[in-house]
Structure 1
Amino acid sequence: MKLAQNVKVRQRVVATAVTYMRRVYTRRSMSEYDPRLVAPTCLYLASKAEESTVQARLLVFYIKKLSSDEKYRYEIKDILEMEMKILEALNYYLVVFHPYRTLSPLLQDAGMNDMSMTQLSWGLVNDTYKMDLILTHPPYLIALACIYIASVYREKDITTWFEELRVDMNVVKNISMEILDFYENKMIADERISTAFLKLALKP
Structure 2
Amino acid sequence: MAANFWASSHSKQLLDPEDVDVVPAADRERGITTEEFRLVKIHMSSHIWRLAQQVKVRQRVIATAITYFRRVYTRKSMSEYDPRLVAPACLYLASKVEESTVQARLLVFYIKKMCAGSDDKYRFEIKDILEMEMKLLEALDYYLVVYHPYRPLLHLLQDAGVTDLTQFAWGLVNDTYKMDLILVQPPYMIALACIYIASVLKDKDTTSWFEELHVDMNIVKNISMEILDFYETYKVDPQRGLSDEKISPIMNKLPAKA
The verdict on a shared fold, with TM-score over 0.5 as the criterion, is: yes
Q: What is the letter of the counterpart of residue 33 of structure 1?
A: Y
Please report how far the alpha carbon of residue 73 of structure 1 lies from its aligned counterpart in structure 2 after TM superposition: 2.1
In structure 1, the residue matched to 2:128 is 78
Please report how far the alpha carbon of residue 82 of structure 1 lies from its aligned counterpart in structure 2 after TM superposition: 0.1
**Matched ranges for 1:143-162 at <5 A:** 143-162=191-210
In structure 2, the residue matched to 1:27 is 75
Matched positions, count: 187
> Aligned with 1:161: secondary structure?
helix
In structure 2, the residue matched to 1:43 is 91
Q: 1:110 to 1:9 in 2, by over 3 A?
A: same
TM-score w.r.t. the length of structure 1 is 0.88
Task: Provide the identity percentage.
Answer: 79
**Matched ranges for 1:125-136 at <5 A:** 125-136=173-184
Output the CA distance in 2 between the equivalents of 1:105 and 1:71.
43
Output the CA distance in 2 between the equivalents of 1:96 and 1:59.
22
In structure 1, the residue matched to 2:228 is 180
1:104 aligns with 2:147: no
Please report how far the alpha carbon of residue 5 of structure 1 lies from its aligned counterpart in structure 2 after TM superposition: 1.2
Larger relative contact order (C-alpha < 8 A, sep ≥ 6)?
Answer: 2
Please report how far the alpha carbon of residue 72 of structure 1 lies from its aligned counterpart in structure 2 after TM superposition: 3.5
Segments of structure 1 that go 5 or more residues without pairing to the other structure are 189-204
Output the CA distance in 1 between the equivalents of 2:194 and 2:51.
27
Output the CA distance in 2 between the equivalents of 1:19 and 1:71.
23
Higher alpha-carbon deviation: 83-92 or 154-163? 154-163
Cα deviation 1:32-90 (Å, max 9, x = unaligned): 10011000000000111111110111111112222244444211111110000000000
Output the CA distance in 1 between the equivalents of 2:151 and 2:144.
17
TM-score w.r.t. the length of structure 2 is 0.70
Aligned residues of 2:72 and 2:139 also touching (Cα < 8 A)? yes
Task: Say what the alpha-carbon RMSD is for the aligned residues.
Answer: 1.4
Output the CA distance in 1 between the equivalents of 2:136 and 2:93.
9
Aligned residues of 2:84 and 2:121 also touching (Cα < 8 A)? no
1:15 aligns with 2:63: yes
In structure 2, the residue matched to 1:118 is 166
Output the CA distance in 2 between the equivalents of 1:99 and 1:3.
22
In structure 2, the residue matched to 1:55 is 103
